[in-house]
Every structure is written in C-alpha cells, then in structure tokens.
Amino acid sequence: MGKSAIPEGWTIGGLVGPYKGDSVESLSRVVAGVTYNLSLFPKVLTPSPLLPTYTDKASIDVLARFEAALLYIVGKCAEYAPCNTYFTSLSKGLSLKELLGWQVRIHYWKPASSDGSPNPAGDVASAEQLASGQNDRGENWTKIAIGEDCLAGDIKLAATLVHELAHVAGALGATADDRARLGKQRKGAEYDRLIAAEMALKQCLLPKQFNPDAIGLLHDRGPAWRGQGGRRIV
C-alpha cells in the first residue's frame, strides 16, 4: 500500500489520524427540517434517505474519498504558486501549504431525523469551519464539519476542503444583514469580500467547482442549534 495523501496531523474522525478515536462535541443543528448531529465518519457511508439525492452510488468509501481529494490538494493545489499567493493574501497571511501542516480535525454532519418539512431548494447542512486555535505545545489546529453531500466526488470534496481552509486563512463570512444588503448582487467590493473563500477555488486549480452564490455565512447558534454557543463560518 502506498503512502497516504492525508497529512500527518490531519484527523478524519473515526477513521484515521492522531485523534481519530476522540469523541466529538455534543452538537446538532437543523436545516430544512432535518436534524444533523456532529459525528464520527463511518467507513462506508450509505446516502441518507433524509436528504435530496446527491449521488447515484449506493455507498461511498469515505477514507478512499478523502485520500483522493487530499492527493489532489497536496499534489496539485498546494504546489501551485498562484494558489498559495491567494491564500497568503487573506487576513492571516497563511499559505495553503502551511495549513496542510496544521492539526486539522474533520467530522461529519450526520442526518438523524426529519420533521417532514418541504425542501424545494434542496438545502442541506454542508460544510463549515467550527473553530481554530493553538494547543499548549504551540501547534495550530482547526475543526471542520462536512455534510455527506460533500463526499459526492473526489474533486467536490477537494473543493469543499479548500473553501473551508480559506476561511481558516482569514476569508470572512457574512452575517444575515450582510446577505440581506447584498441581495442578488454578484459584483462589487462587498461581494468580493464575502465570496473570498469560494474564490480560492479559481486560484487553486478547481475553477469548475466555483459557485458564485457560495457566500461565506456566519452562523449564530440560535434555535436551530443545540450544543455550545458561538459563531461559525460556512
């Protein structure tokens, strides 16, 4: 078996990494009537019937998907000078290559139940940066949660991780007021500020994954959240 593409300090909760067996914080959220619980990943994921269809596969080998996505990020994105230049232009001044050396812990938004609400827009709990910090050994860490739709393909997952790492690097999220003020506007300084995380895809060899509506969103943990309080960036 060849060398893993997953960086040494990274943990895919439940599967691989220095913290793979650690329990996750008790946290849940509700999106479009579906309750999601923060969880460890299963080895093989069966697409949830609670969600809109996002793949024609009967099952997904989760670790293989992360290996393929990170092979692309480590071998291509992080070796591409314009990608690192873009990351360092964000407020923390960190390159993508530097962030790959962080302690990165990734967990899973597991669909748990549904109240049967209609969901014509196909909204799901997708991905978000939960927290970042530094441990007592001076190691930088970040926690990211992703929804199972992000596992639909290797490049889809690669794009999700690059987007979330751009938030770690300083790309901002939008408040509800920001989004209301922006409306359907898709140009100008305010739009450029709020689309910064997604713009990383254009600079990091993932241009086909770019979504002009993927504006970073700050989540205040209100009635749709259960668990620790605070603000999180999507």
In a domain, 204, yes or no: yes
pLDDT higher at 1 or 200 = 200
52 falls within a domain: yes
Residue 114 lies in a domain: yes
Whether residue 4 lies inside any domain: the answer is no
pLDDT on residue 217: 63
Scanning the structure block, which residue is given the tokens 């220095």?
18
Q: What domain count does the chain have?
A: 1
CA 88, CA 137: separation in Å to the nearest integer? 24
Q: How would you class 145 by CB atoms within 10 Å of its CB: exposed for 0-12, middle for 13-18, buried for 19 or more?
A: buried
Could you tell me if residue 101 is inside a domain? Answer: yes
Bridge partners (DSSP) of residue 226 are 28
Whether 5 is covered by a domain: the verdict is no
In a domain, 112, yes or no: yes
Give per-residue pLDDT as tens, 17-74. 999 999 998 999 999 999 999 999 999 999 999 999 999 999 999 999 999 999 999 9
H helices, E strands: number in the chain: 7, 11
The range of the structural domain enclosing residue 129 comes to: 11-233
Q: Is 8 exposed, middle or buried (0-12, 13-18, 19+ CB in 10 A)?
A: exposed
Above 80 in pLDDT, residue 222?
no
Q: What is the per-residue pLDDT across 77-106, written as a single tens digit (0 to 9) for each?
A: 999 999 999 999 999 999 999 999 999 999
pTM of the model: 0.90
- What local confidence, expressed as pLDDT, does residue 1 receive? 55
* 2 lies in some domain: no
Residue 209 CA to residue 218 CA, distance in Å, equals: 21
pLDDT digits (tens, 9 = 90+) for 149-201: 999 999 999 999 999 999 999 998 777 677 677 667 777 777 788 889 999 99
Tell me the three state secondary structure of residue 156: helix
